[in-house]
Structure 1
């Protein structure tokens, strides 16, 4: 891999050439799909179980992944399968590094990329992490000293378990009845007895530096050890140096290092914490420990806890995230990080890395008719796509193009998730700004391991053994086409919404505030930030979230708020805010002075944190606010304007910032701006078909439709007006489409987009089918003849009921084909993916609702043949294995669990419908 400096040597002349070319001649409008790059294709997490990998299987599997349409892999070493211990390779050993080298070289030969987790399992840690550098927590032991009596109890750390480490006494503090503090550490003798007897009753708190004892979760061979102290610069530095030394100066050609979501349980302290706190916050936290421990909803408790949490954030951001990224850059590598779950400002943590990564976890509800969502097969979580926008906002505002996501984690129970369920989930991620999909995931499984191969304990298992794998390429093509557009140009969002993180940090409950995906009902949903953001998005506005630090780094150019050279927005919105730093209010006023438009929902109530000169600072804040001379809720500040309004939509209209009215039809959307126009990604996740005229805020000379499912393109009739562009749109429930609006009139060498809204005639071909099983488990059932097409699980055949794999439905039919007409094949039910051949020609795939495919080009007038290869789920064959006591799961660590984290057992499952059901029809359209 070339170093970044070498890349720059090549890129600078290219940029100069392109700049001169653009001055001489503007590139003509493009009707093509954007270039299919390595990152446009979906990538996958690749679990190396026990690191039991070898060159032959690595080579074969990478070729298999490449042929299926994957663009890259993310190596994640974990625990191994029992019985294969002789194949295990210790992490970072010479043999392991040799396998890494082989993997990268093989992947590069296929045009694929490789990322790797900087450790095994998660979170970061391993045998190289000394007890000194291990995850740390603060333990406070309480004592009561009565006036005139010596403390009879020695101040010695009280272990809660026999093998617990001896904690280090950091300090001993005494507090009187008014909570005035004294440091009495010097009066503690070697035996723990306190030689101090000052007059009065005292509450005594002994502060210990303890180790959490947490070991790396799901560790691979050679990776077992303590979890890292992420708040310690020296610990993180030592951790990075270990890898640098292990690599011995060799560049293994990986693209980036990856860090999973923050799951460092109980870690809330580090050795230098009190010193760091005093430098950052200006006072000694030890004097205020009673407030840190209290959960009373008082001003002082909220302020002290806010300062504590902000300091934790600062240490995580500086000592881990930025420190790690800077180190990776020196190795000519990128960083990819999941900030969620951490006790920090998600926006700043995401922004500090090269590729922010969010996560889809569980199953979302979509009212798409026919979309299967069995409550017994999903986790008791309610994913919120707004959570994904923290990562995309950080990328957009800091000029980073890629926003990745760990996708489909526990989408459903093992072996029961289909492409049709995956499609709306991934579309929801796209709508939130994600454009670099990582599947969760694929397990390395050697060819000599019998069906179903090695599997990770958590779904979704997309392996070469999966019965859907032969059809995986079509799903990947959908992702690839979509991402080729979503990675083009830049985000086109007009609003910035301030996230008041200090309101989250000021909550009186608990000590740490872990900002997790699973606790959104506590830290996100009740807030005006969430409610106003959701309202604006549902009204048709495009927005990003912005942090205090991002505001401080923004500038104004021609009335637009520039957060980076690549990103700008029209207005900054400050939702109802409890706590805002003085510096942030100053920065907002500065932006207004430079010409920015700002809307406050209300006056921020106070400043965060404890200050020795509290009244003076609050006075300064109030004076700054008072300097905004509102008249009728509006103030001119320098070149800009500041509004005070609880009706954000009305104020935005006054500012002539208009919503996309297309959402009134039930559509969801996201926009990308490119050199010659604007891309709209439109999705119908509503329960009804949408057939109506919609308006686009973008003024267009020409409009083109692009179908990510098939790759087909066509011009769309459009009409310009004062507000933008009007187009007629027909999308069935479950469909999505890209529209490209060209800034100028363009002549495109593509046909008009077909109108599928009303069929002129329909031919039913549901009769007389033959079914032949071609490949699968546990064995191939006998062929079936069907008077009317139906699932193969509806034919009283136990062998067919147990079968997972592929089978062909074949038939013949007569059809009068008319030139100039369009013909759409519709299948009422597909369980779960269908590949279609008409007259021996492959026409395409059907795997998502609505189950339809344009077969105009393949049809002929008169007699036609049709073959439909159907791939079903693995569920039925796994049920067969469990019912017959055939052992297939036997792993170290967690082994294999169901969606409720209980031992997995499919023996009592009902037969999952498999094959085709309902009617098969061909509709003719004018």
Structure 2
């Protein structure tokens, strides 16, 4: 790209220097004494392990069964539980324990103590079911609803209208009148509340004509706590009202008085107080905050009149609701918990508020995933007819982490796997990419959704929550769940270190969403987030490899411009630019902050300059101020795809393509996405970590330039725990790294300057073609599960047990052992892979009596070289299927197991659950099982970066003869190499170009 005169030119060299300086600034705190040895995998704490939501049905729990479950959780690698009391199981009513009763508190203390003994911790829902509410919520503190009724009054009419809420039920609960406003035919407005007599009749009449009258009522919302536990039933409370919160929490103050239960966090589930559109004191708060009397605009709030005024009034209404929720609920609730020595964990989504600001006020912000997402991973299990497609907006998933990163919070949690598939049909393999997806968004503290306490005496499948997935001892995948747990633990052990390393802030133009004439309160729910967070240019930045956080109008005020960057309050994060996507309405305060940032050298990038201010108060005055501020940016310089707007002190960068503007500002993307890798970046005391995930259907084997350098680079495998040093040829602030990742695999990179003398070399791998198929006579032995154990069987060729035509096997859920004796001749390589082929659905591999571990997600491979014998071998593969076939059999035979109150048990469509019409779910080992010889190539020289993996190469470039006898290095043809060939590898010679100027690979 060429730039006209007057542009701030950024050559490649200057761009690299800016990046180098930016990263030096960000990560200078990571520089360590080289004599200090690197700690590759952090020491594991309980917070690094996955936790689980633990539903207590009817709180019908006892110490014996609690001990059994907690010990099992700890043994499987669960780090903590979140106690969530809900409705009860039928037949156990005499064992129900009322929430917060003395016995309940005694049980809580026992669970905390037992968990601590096991190295676990405990969170607790600050109520039962959801949302917050209970038996002590009286009408004056219950959630409120604004109801507006319309009347017409004419001059001289004889009948006086009766002003009463039409909804008799709500009227019985008390629905005080807020105000009555009359609207004349010529734009007149008159407040007529004082004309209501004791009989609730309006005595006012206009002097002439017919007027519209609107009466507004503060009605009881009448929403009960959903899925409430015994002792927790009642109405939801008013989250917008501080006295209502104090009243709600008073119940907990009483039972926790003098107690220190040792809870880590109080938890609040997603805000689902549907229809809560008003609050006591809301009118006064609105008038004070927005600067005008809302009573004059009841008509517009009711959706009548000029559409622009309607939208502006509703924007002000929504902003007021957001502020009240944050100030009167989330902030004060957190202060209350902190005063008790605990933290808050909060799902802000669903709130009628600025979610980033709500997340920012709590200790641990939490998102959730809902439904299942298809990943194009080779071998990915996708149960197409039994999933509810996810509404996972990648941008939405970043909101909680963004708030945490800006406010210096270490943990970001996620309610994970909610309805990822139908009950009893979700394998561990489907959970892995779902977890990776939230890791990539910045989550580092996963909570399973979830586990139901079930007494050991309960008939299989035990007590179950109505929404999948079931993480508990009765699930047939439970013997193998530690594989998933260990993977998550390794990932979170790194992702909880240090702070995020994102380059860019993206402004969330929420007022463009709020300023809509549709609806009233606006709940920012998981479902439909693509409507209220629809930013295609920002999604493109994410897809292209830019690292960013979202920022709200309020949080902009917490940032400090320094050295051409924006620093967070704790100084741990420094952002190199701020991007403002398409935005029509922007508050003046926000625009002034952006101008101040630009005046201090921070690149401020707009897709377009704002056109207007939001809201209604002092509209023309604020518009004039905005025009004046923007008119100062009168100098304009243009080039292809880019416009600079300059004032005497600052510069705004405008572009329809933020990537062009970021390039001008010297902010570079990472190139992992060019080959299909997703990534996340964090810095810590050990150095800089990259988390890389391959969700493509292909194996990736490529050299990738990385925007960071260090003395050493370590590759870490969270699937196995393996790690090793890899070479990094560094130049111009970049490191060129060879990355190998099969479809479905994930890795970490650690850039460090610490002592790595104890770290082994990483081995790049190359599989050879002479595969050995393991087949012959197999024995299948069923040893764990039910309803009964089928007889062992021998088969002449490998196949799933559900293909053997055996009725007992077709209704079995559990684990069976496939065993084969085979002869392997000519073992000549140090390393071999065992590829299990198609596994339904997880397996433990034992070769010659050696337990090699679990294989539970694609690729279903495991290293066996050390244990493979030249000659006779015995291979045992313990395969666990899913619960589906056993449940199917129970429903076919009308065996009653859905024995729960309230919603009881539903399918993924929220209809009555019935598996009797299911087909038998394929189970067992399909294979083919193969032994694949592998060459492990220690990565010790720069040449190794590109000499291996010739099967991936499309072009061969000549890097000169000074590299040794073999001067030709195959590389994968892509735009990546167009950008790095010629300077990126820097092997001591310049590449010899045999291409003409028109080639896209011209050097």
Q: TM-score, normalised by structure 1?
A: 0.95
User: 1:540 aligned to 2:545?
Assistant: yes
Cα deviation per residue 1:455-498 (whole Å; 9 max; x = unaligned)? 00111111111111111111100000000011112111101000
CA RMSD of aligned residues (A): 1.9
8 A contact 1:40–1:71 mirrored in 2: yes
Tell me if 1:397 matches 2:406. Answer: yes
Q: Is the 8 A contact 2:38 2:756 kept in 1?
A: no
Of the three residues 161, 175, 183, the one matched with 1:175 is 183
Superposed, which structure 2 residues align to 1:731-810 within 5 Å?
731-743=741-753, 747-810=756-819
How far, CA to CA, are the matches of 2:170 and 2:645 in structure 1?
A: 66
Q: What does 1:598-747 correspond to in 2, within 5 Å?
A: 598-611=604-617, 613-632=618-637, 633-635=643-645, 641-743=651-753, 747=756
* 2:111 paired residue among 99, 103, 106: 103
Q: What are the equivalent positions in structure 2 for 1:23-172 lying under 5 Å apart?
A: 25=33, 28-30=36-38, 32-159=40-167, 161=169, 164-172=172-180
Partners of 1:425 and 1:363 lie apart in 2 by 8
Separation in structure 1 between the aligned mates of residue 122 and residue 264 of structure 2, nearest angstrom:
6
Return the match for 1:567 from 573, 590, 594.
573
| Deviation for aligned residue 1:605 | 1.2
Q: CA deviation at 1:730?
A: 2.0
Q: Residues of 1 paired with 2:623 and 2:173: CA distance?
A: 45
Tell me what 1:414 maps to: 423
Change (3 A) 1:395 1:162: closer
Give CA deviations for 1:566-588 in whole Å, capped at 9, x if unaligned.
22211011111111111111111
Deviates more, 1:732-741 or 1:84-93: 732-741
Residue by residue over 1:770-810, the C-alpha shift from the partner in whole angstroms, topping out at 9 and shown as x without a partner, is: 11110101000011112221111111111011100111111
3-state secondary structure, aligned to 2:821 = strand
Q: For 1:640 and 1:702, how far apart are their aligned partners in 2?
A: 40
Match of 1:198 in 2: 206
Could you list the per-position Cα deviations for residues 658-701 of structure 1 after superposition, in whole angstroms to 9, with x for gaps in the alignment?
A: 11112110111111112342111111111222122222111233
Change (3 A) 1:640 1:849: farther
In the alignment, structure 1 residue 867 sits paired with structure 2 residue 876: yes
Shift of 1:177: 1.9
Deviations 1:328-364 (A, max 9, x none): 1111110011111111000000111000000010011
Q: Deviations over 1:421-472 (max 9, x none)?
A: 1111111111111110000000000111111110001111111111111111
1:4 maps to what in 2?
A: none
Against the structure 1 CA distance between its residues 399 and 151, is the aligned structure 2 distance closer, same or farther, given a 3 Å change threshold?
farther
- In the aligned structure 1, how far is the partner of 2:650 from the partner of 2:116? 51
After superposition, residues 488-503 of structure 1 pair within 5 angstroms as: 488-503=497-512
Structure 1 residue runs of 5 or longer lacking an equivalent are: 1-20
Mind listing any 5+ residue stretches in structure 2 that lack a counterpart? Answer: 1-28, 638-642, 936-1003
Contact 1:50–1:221 at 8 Å: present in 2 too?
A: yes
CA contact (8 A) 1:872 1:915 kept: yes
> Partner residue of 2:4?
none
Aligned to 2:837, the other structure's residue is in SS state strand
Structure 1 position 34, deviation (Å) = 1.1
Counterpart mapping for 1:346-365 below 5 A: 346-365=355-374
In 1, Cα distance between the equivalents of 2:54 and 2:32?
47
Aligned length: 900
Could you tell me how far apart the structure 1 residues matched to 2:447 and 2:698 are?
31
Q: Which one of the candidate residues 186, 208, 229 is aligned to 2:194? A: 186
Deviation at 1:150, TM superposition (A): 4.2
CA distance in 2 between partners of 1:380 and 1:538 (Å): 21
Aligned mates of 2:795, 2:874 — CA distance in 1: 16
Instruction: Tell me: CA distance 1:522–1:160, structure 2 relative to 1, closer, same or farther (3 Å).
Output: farther
Equivalent position of 2:556 in the other structure: 551
CA deviations 1:264-317 (Å, max 9, x no partner) are 011100110100101110111010011111167722111101000001101111
Is the contact between residue 830 and residue 866 of structure 2 (CA under 8 Å) also seen in structure 1? no
**Offset at 1:160?**
5.0
| Contact 2:148/2:302 (<8 A) preserved | no
- CA 1:838–1:163: 2 relative to 1, 3 Å: farther
Q: Distance in 2 between matches of 1:49 and 1:297?
A: 52
Conservation of the 8 A alpha-carbon contact between 2:577 and 2:602: yes
Cα 1:838–1:584 shift into 2, 3 Å: same
1:819 deviates by: 6.9
**CA positional deviation for 1:592:** 2.2
CA change 1:653–1:295 in 2 (3 A) is farther
Aligned residues of 1:822 and 1:854 also touching (Cα < 8 A) = yes
In 2 relative to 1, CA 221–765 (structure 1 residues): closer, same or farther, beyond 3 Å? same
Q: CA 1:297 to 1:717, structure 2 compared with 1: closer, same or farther past 3 Å?
A: farther
Cα deviation per residue 1:229-252 (whole Å; 9 max; x = unaligned)? 101110001112221112123110
The answer to whether the 8 Å contact 2:632/2:647 transfers is no
Flag the 1:832–1:640 CA change in 2: closer, same or farther, 3 A: farther
Aligned to 1:133, the other structure's residue is in SS state coil
Q: Which residue of 1 is the match for residue 600 of structure 2? A: 594
Write the deviation string for residues 157-195 of structure 1: whole angstroms up to 9, x where unpaired. Answer: 212548952311221111112443211111111112221
SS state at 1:887 partner: coil
Please give the secondary structure, in 1, of the residue aligned with 2:66: helix
* Contact 2:827 2:869 (8 Å CA) reproduced: no
In the TM superposition, residue 817 of structure 1 has moved relative to its aligned partner by 6.7
Residues 278, 440 of structure 1: alpha-carbon distance in 2 compared, 3 angstrom cutoff: same
In 2, Cα distance between the equivalents of 1:263 and 1:839?
55
Change (3 A) 1:23 1:700: closer
Q: CA deviation at 1:857?
A: 2.7
Range moving further from structure 2, 692-701 or 208-217: 692-701
Cα distance 1:814–1:295, how it changes in 2: closer, same or farther (>3 A)?
Answer: farther
Check the 8 A contact 1:599/1:645 in 2, yes or no. Answer: yes
Answering whether residue 850 of structure 2 is matched by residue 841 of structure 1, we say: yes
Mapped pair 1:335 → 2:344: yes
Structure 1 residue runs of 4 or more that deviate by more than 4 Å after TM superposition: 21-27, 160-164, 635-641, 816-820
